[in-house]
Amino acid sequence: MINNLVIEVLLENLRTANSSRVKEICLGIMGNLVCHESLVAAISLKNGLIATVVEQLFLNHVKCLSETFRLLAAILQSSASVSWAQALLPDEILSRILLIVGKTDSTTLIEKIIDFLTTVIDNRDVIAMLIQPLLKLGLVDRVIGLLTNEIERPPDEKLDRKGSLDLILHFMVESSAIHCVSKAMTSNDRLIKVLVNMIKSPDKQVASYCASVVIVISNILKDGKHLVPKISHDLPFLEGLLEVLPAVPDDDQARYALWSILSCILAQVQGTELNSLSLDQFVSLVLGKFGLIKADLESQLVDEEKLTPEDALLKGWISTCLMAISFFMVRWIEEKSSPGNEDAIDNAWEVLSYCQNALC
């Protein structure tokens, strides 16, 4: 096909055709061709081709845009990625990409956009060129908009679009592991609110994604220690985190992330002077949910002689949590040691004893 001038034909049709369907087909064929690494150089060096493809981002046709993003995602995984990334650098191009991210309601186009953005962050050379301009132009806000739109859909629509929410959260998990992206996320109050509300949500369709959400929150807190005081006294959030524990026993990344968040929150609470009412509420929550903590710890016993660095971190986070819980149980028992509280006191002693034994 290349030897028989197919690229010239496709390029001319992209430049002159008035039919969106023709453009979509041309972009689709190009997208297939660039998947072959041996052809990438010949295609990319064709005079005017890169600029013409990039121009297709300004079309207002969902299928054409989907094929354009598919093509770009494929080419950014190739040896020609840097020259194509350079063509995307102008603010007007990146602004247009982010505008599409913010406006589209098509599941197919969302999928192709997320694939494209994931390719950007997975390529060291490309991310070095594009990530800071994208962040400056509002990448985080656009992705939050996508996330919020999916969460706020009616239940029947959510069932039809489960893949979209999964893709968005997967991208957020990957991107939040990048320092500059995580740092930008820490300054976005809207994002923190959305993520916290997802953990607190009684919506079971949303709750099924909480493993991904806790990973994103954990990544953000690494660069956003200032956020911990804001969320540490949100008891429904703490309750939601504890209720996620049974959902992550087989997902090491999510389990580590969850315990890291719990350790941050409980250490912050321990360093805060709780009044009597707040102490009652906190202890009541812990007593009610401690079975989840106990079940998690007893189902994930680690051989001390085969402790990995990750396991050592996890052990430290768990110890921080158990020490904080012990601290509050002791204080609460001292305050409530009066007739009429025997059952609650017994429960508190049981939790305290468990924590102390686990810490030995």
pLDDT at 271 over 70: yes
The string of pLDDT tens digits covering residues 119-164 is 999 999 999 999 999 999 999 999 999 999 888 888 777 666 778 8
- Tens of pLDDT along 347-360? 999 999 999 999 97
* Domain endpoint, select from 118, 137, 156: 137
> Does residue 304 register a pLDDT over 80?
no
pTM, entire model: 0.90
Establish if 283 belongs to a structural domain.
yes
- What's the pLDDT band for 328 if we cut at 50, 70, 90? very high
Residues 266, 215 contacting (CB under 8 angstroms): no
127 and 248 in a common domain: no
pLDDT digits (tens, 9 = 90+) for 64-110: 999 999 999 999 999 999 999 999 999 999 999 999 998 888 999 99
Confidence band (pLDDT; 50, 70, 90) for 237? very high
What is the 3-class SS of 47-83, one letter each residue?
CCHHHHHHHHHHCCCHHHHHHHHHHHHHHCCCCCHHH
What's the confidence (pLDDT) of residue 117?
A: 96
Tell me if 240 is assigned to some domain.
yes
Question: Is 329 a domain residue?
Answer: yes
**Last residue of some domain: 137, 153, 183?**
137
Let me know whether 129 and 239 are in one domain: no
On whether residue 41 sits in a domain, the answer given is yes
Give the pLDDT confidence score for residue 64 in this predicted structure. 97
Same-domain pairing of 127 and 257 = no
3-class DSSP state of 341: coil
- Average of per-residue pLDDT values in the chain: 90
User: Domain for residue 168, yes or no?
Assistant: no
What's the rounded Cα separation, in Å, for the pair 325 and 266?
Answer: 8
Domain co-membership, 125 together with 237 = no
Question: What is the average per-residue pLDDT within 40-60?
Answer: 93
C-alpha span between 73 and 102 (Å, rounded): 19
In a domain, 237, yes or no: yes
**Residue 336 has what pLDDT?**
78
40 pLDDT above the threshold of 70: yes
State the pLDDT at residue 253.
Answer: 92
Q: Is 280 exposed, middle or buried (0-12, 13-18, 19+ CB in 10 A)?
A: middle
Residue type, 243: E
| Average pLDDT estimate for 40-63 | 93
Task: Specify the pLDDT at position 265.
Answer: 95
pLDDT of residue 340: 63
Query: 237 with 120, same domain?
Result: no
CA dihedral 31, 36, 42, 46 (to 10 degrees): 0
**What is residue 205's predicted lDDT score, i.e. its pLDDT?**
67
Residue owning tokens 């959260």: 169
With a pLDDT cut of 70, the percent of the chain lying above it is 96
Q: Which of residues 119, 137, 155 is at a domain's end?
A: 137
CB atoms within 10 A of CB 115: 18
Q: Which amino acid is at 257?
A: A
Assign residue 101 the CATH number of its domain: 1.25.10.10
Number of folded domains in the chain?
2
Query: Quick one: pLDDT band at residue 219, thresholds 50, 70, 90?
Result: very high
**Structural domain of 287:** 233-360
* 218 belongs to a structural domain: no
Q: Has residue 339 got a pLDDT over 70?
A: no
Mark whether 132 and 8 lie in a shared domain.
yes
Q: Please tell me the distance from the alpha carbon of residue 184 to that of residue 48, in angstroms, as a whole number.
A: 35
How much is the average pLDDT of 265-274?
A: 90
Mark whether 13 and 130 lie in a shared domain: yes
pLDDT of 268 higher than 90: yes
The answer to whether position 212 is within a domain reads no
